Structure 1
Amino acid sequence: MKEYIVDNKNKMRYHDLPGEDTPILFIHGLGCAGSFDYPEVAAQSDLIKHRRILVDLLGSGFSDKPDNYKYTVKEHANYLYNFVQDLKLNKFIIFGHSLGGAIALELADKCKDNIETIILSEANLDKSSKGSSSYEIGSYTEEDFVNSIFDEIINENAHESSMWIASLAVCSSTAISRISKSAVLGGETSWREILYSLNLQKTFIFGEKSLPDNDEIELRKHGINIEIVEGAGHSMAWENPKGLAKAIKKGILYARGL
């Protein structure tokens, strides 16, 4: 892995896989990590020619987990903006999954001129609502979540959602609480509004098992390309990595008019 220093101190760690085609920046969702979610997706033949950058956001995976960091959607987008500037990514593709989609949108809004396309998979477009993991987590006080609820979630779901729990277990409980509260509050400008305002071709990916979803119709109305990953639900990177890679590539080709 490689390291990027955030705020002159904390280190975000990431994989930077070589390729001649436009770089793709992968931004993972709540309780996940790029190093855990996307190696198999990035290795698929559809994406192998692209440079692929798989980040572990601060508080997740192999990256540092400082307790004094804010961990809001906006703060993640801010240091990722500095990251892509320092990598001199003059043109790149953003992929964001779930709550990582909200971070992807805020990042895209900060560097519109450098984005070839943005591809989202079941991303948060609105503030979190009842029933979502981020809403449930964000409803607890940080103290209660860190001191007891986090461990309860790990223990109670270890078998039913073993992949997500394996990834969640190595995250900072503080980071998970704070970004969940950020998701409940929503963005200063709604993430949906940012998506609609971006003057570029956009793709939104659903897992087949997540459908029907009212947003499929709504997003099509706004000219957003829809792709569907067969045999998968929300956790499509694990359930069908080949299908997700194919959907991402189709989104890239759509943006190129191919």
Structure 2
Amino acid sequence: MKEYIVDNENNKIRYHDFPGKDTPILFIHGLGCAGSFDYPEVAAQTDLIEHRRILIDLLGSGFSDKPDNYLYSIKEHADYLYKFVQDLKLNKVIIFAHSLGGPIALELADKCRDKVETIILSEANLDKSSEGSYSYEFGTCEEADFVNGVFDEVVNSNSIENSMWSATLSVCSSTAISRISKAAVAGGDPSWRDILYSLQCKRTVIFGEESLPDDDKTELERQRINIEIVKSAGHSMAWENPKGLAEAIKKGILYAREF
């Protein structure tokens, strides 16, 4: 694992950087997750083995630093990742992102359009969070209440039925989870959906078979966005079918290279 200083306060993100000669893939994880937890098995699949694969833990998550005085907004995450891409001298990059990592990926792609070979999103937030989602539940809760009680309740209540997410959530900063969730509720300006539609690179959105039907699939297809399906998986496809997710990512890469 490597580390990268993101600001003048010496805060660091930590990441895996697996070698490969083909275009680097930057993996951006979702809410309460971590690249170091979610993506090693995906990155190890034969379909992706020729690519350089960079698995980050966002600030506030996984093995990365967790400062309480950080804003943890979508924009702030995208800003330090833009600097990270520049400093790693990634002249071309494939951006993959899951769930609430999607808005971060889209704002990053908007900042470095000339570097993005393709963007691949798996069940990503394209609009501000709505009622019924974890990010809406967390983001509409007072930060002090969330940090001092709700966070631990969520970790404990998911420890049996959703034990993988409970495990990775438990090592996140409760402050970071609260603040990024509030950013998700507020939405982007321009919206993350509008950024996706405006990107000139080829775009792919991945759904888990068990998450369908989804009304957004038809709308995305209407916008000429490539759709891939991971069989025998729902929203947590990296854990449920890592081989299938790697295959879907590879199909998205090949789709971008067909034109």
Task: State the distance in 2 between where 1:13 and 1:157 align.
Answer: 26
Alignment match, 1:172: 173
2-structure distance, mates of 1:81, 1:211: 33
Amino acid aligned to 1:17: F
Unaligned runs of 5+ residues in structure 1 are none
Equivalent residue number for residue 202 of structure 1: 203
Find the counterpart in structure 1 of residue 154 from structure 2. Answer: 153
Root-mean-square deviation (CA, aligned residues, Å) is 0.6
Residue number in structure 2 paired with 1:77 = 78
1:53 match:
54
Which residue in 1 is equivalent to 2:13?
12
The residue identity in structure 2 corresponding to 1:138 is G
**C-alpha distance after superposition, 1:30-84 (max 9, x if no partner):** 0000000000000000000000000000000000000000000110000000000
SS in 2 for 1:16: strand
What letter matches 2:6 in structure 1? V
Conserved in 1, the CA contact under 8 Å of 2:234 and 2:240?
yes
Contact 2:32 2:169 in 1 (8 A): yes
Q: Structure 1, residues 187-207: CA drift from partner, whole Å, max 9, x if none? A: 121000000000111000000
2:155 & 2:27 partners in 1: Cα distance?
Answer: 25
Tell me how many residue pairs correspond in the alignment.
258
2:26 aligned partner, one-letter code: L
Following superposition, the deviation at residue 235 of structure 1 comes to 0.2
**Residue 99 of structure 2: aligned partner:** 98
- CA apart distance, 1:150: 0.4
CA shift at 1:157, angstroms? 1.3
Q: What are the residue-to-residue correspondences of 1:8-47 with 2, within 5 Å?
A: 8=8, 9-47=10-48
Counterpart Cα distance in 2 of 1:46 and 1:82? 28
User: After TM superposition, which residue ranges in structure 1, 4 or more long, deviate above 3 angstroms?
Assistant: none
* 1:137-184 Cα deviation digits (max 9, x unpaired): 111100000000001111111101000000000000000000000000
State the AA in 2 paired with 1:75: E
Q: Structure 2: any 5+ residue segments left out of the alignment?
A: none
- Using the size of structure 1 for normalisation, the TM-score is 0.99
CA contact (8 A) 2:158 2:165 kept: no
Q: The residue matched to 1:69 in structure 2 has which SS? A: coil
Alignment map for 1:110-121 (pairs within 5 Å): 110-121=111-122
In structure 2, give the amino acid aligned to 1:7. Answer: D
**150-159 or 125-134: bigger deviation:** 150-159
Structure 2 residue matching 1:90: 3-state secondary structure: coil
